[in-house]
Every structure is written in C-alpha cells, then in structure tokens.
Homo-oligomer: A and B are copies of this chain.
Amino acid sequence: MDELDIEVVADPDLQDPVLVEGLPGVGHVGKLAAEHLLEEKESELVRRVYSEHFPPQVSVEDDGTTGLACAKVHAVELDDRDLLVLTGKHQASDNTGHYRLTDAFLDVAEEFGVETVYALGGVPTGELMDEYDVLGAATDGEFVEELEAVGVEFREDEPAGGIVGTSGLLLGLGERRGFRATCLMGETSGYLVDPKSARAVLEVLEELLDFEIDFDSLEERADDMEDVANKIQEMENQQSNVAPDDNLRYIG
C-alpha cells in the first residue's frame, strides 16, 4: 500500500457541494453530527481514504467481517446543494499524518468542486452543560460575520489552545489552498460522548445550508447518555458519603 491510497467508489456529479467533516474528537461531537446526517439523509459512498498514518487496525462489523482503518466520504444530495460528508473512526496517528491526510481530504473536495468547508467538533468546558452554545472560527472575516448572523459565538481567547487535528488543518491548509473554511464547535463537558452538543452544531448547519433534519434518534442517544451520566453521579455521591466513615476507621 502507498502512504496514501484514495479509493474511488463512485463519481456522481454534485450540485455546488460543500465539505462537512466529522472525525473523532472532543465529546465525539463532530463524529456524531456527521454520522447523524448520513443516517437521516440518503447518501452514497464516493471515496475511501486509506493511509499508513491511520492506526494499524481493522474494525470488525456485526456480521464478523473486517474493514481496514479508513476515512469515508459520502455524497448527500439536499434540495439546494449537495454535501460531501467526511467520517471515520480514526484521526491520523502522527503529526505528519494529520497534514498529509488533510491534504488528501482537500484533494477529494477539490475534485468535486468544493469551495467551502465545514469542520464540526466540540470544545470542552470542563463542566456539565444545560445550554449548548456553538463556538466558531473561520478562515476570513466575512465568513465570521455570516456565522455570527446565525448565532455562532465568537469569544476572545476561545478555544484557548487553537484547533488541533484534521478540523484545525482543514482551516489552516484549506485557507492556503483557496478554500473558505469554518470550524463549528459545540460546547460539551469533555467527559462524555455528547449527542446534545452534536444537535446544537447540526442546528447551526441547518440554518447555514438551508436544510432540515429529524433529531429523534439523536435525542434517544442523548437520553441514553443522560442515564449513564446520572448513574455515574449517583455512584460518585455514594462514594463521597462513604468516605468519612472510611477515614474514621484509621482513628479508632
């Protein structure tokens, strides 16, 4: 295998397509959002991207068959415009790999005539959330204004450490190659997979790209996660109740 291997699965003509990226990251927000898009809308797999820079790994499907680590690009046809949706189970496993894979993703986008890139992700707040703001960053000031107009938040010094991984490089390398790109980051505690944050991000995307999507299945996952979170909290409360007695044992 070469360092990078882009498998052409299909080559449909797409109408004014944009790239939407949702690879694993903070709270798996971007991944959940992109996968929800693919579940709710009809889609066609158009590319698989294999690389030595992915972990040396196969996944095992429910039927017992295996698939080599890769990123997938699906085409989704919406009313007004089409989407290329980039998903996968892995980020690159080394720094150089992040650069080379992101360049490959942008090659695919370029082939299909993409001009605008939406990287989806999460931004960790360190605390459990009730409301889910969506933070933004973009390659140019005009794009920033467009995003502010639909409620995306821009805050000084956030995200503090910049944006890392594929999402960051889609903006960084994308800008240098002439793409307009934004990263939409749903606030999330950072501790758990967060379907509610994914919904918040998708709602911004709905407005930006003028489409509608059903959130029922994502809400179900959110309820499941809430049950998990509540159980964790209960267990923690029980532990801290027990602790004092535990200490007493050492005193007599």
Contacts and interface: CB of A to CB of B under 8 A. Distances in A.
A136 interface: yes
Interface stretch (A156-164, A204-212, A215-223, A225-233): A156-164
A250 B247 contact: yes
Contact of A95 (B50, B55, B95, B137): B55
A57 interface: yes
Contacts of A68: 169, 171-173, 175-176
Given A57-B163, A95-B55, A171 B247 contact: no
A56 B175 contact: no
A139 B66 contact: yes
Q: Among the interface residues A52, A58, A139, which one has the most CB atoms of the partner chain B within 10 A? A: A58
Nearest to A91: B56
Interface in A142-184: 144, 147, 154, 156-159, 161-166, 168-169, 171-173, 175-176, 183
A251 B249 CA distance: 9
Q: Among the interface residues A55, A65, A138, A141, which one has the most CB atoms of the partner chain B within 10 A? A: A65
Contacts of A52: 95-96, 99-100
B63 A1 contact: no
Contact of A252 (B67, B169, B252): B252
Nearest to A144: B64
A162 B99 CA distance: 25
Contacts of A102: 56
Interface of A: 1, 50, 52-53, 55-60, 62-69, 92-96, 98-100, 102-103, 136-141, 144, 147, 154, 156-159, 161-166, 168-169, 171-173, 175-176, 183, 247, 249-252
20 contacts: A1-B173, A1-B176, A56-B168, A57-B161, A57-B168, A58-B163, A58-B171, A58-B172, A59-B162, A63-B154, A64-B136, A64-B138, A65-B137, A65-B138, A65-B144, A66-B138, A68-B172, A94-B95, A250-B250, A251-B252
Given A59-B162, A62-B157, A65-B137, 19 more contacts: A1-B176, A52-B100, A53-B96, A56-B92, A56-B164, A56-B165, A57-B161, A57-B163, A57-B168, A58-B162, A63-B141, A64-B141, A65-B140, A65-B144, A66-B139, A66-B163, A67-B172, A250-B250, A251-B252
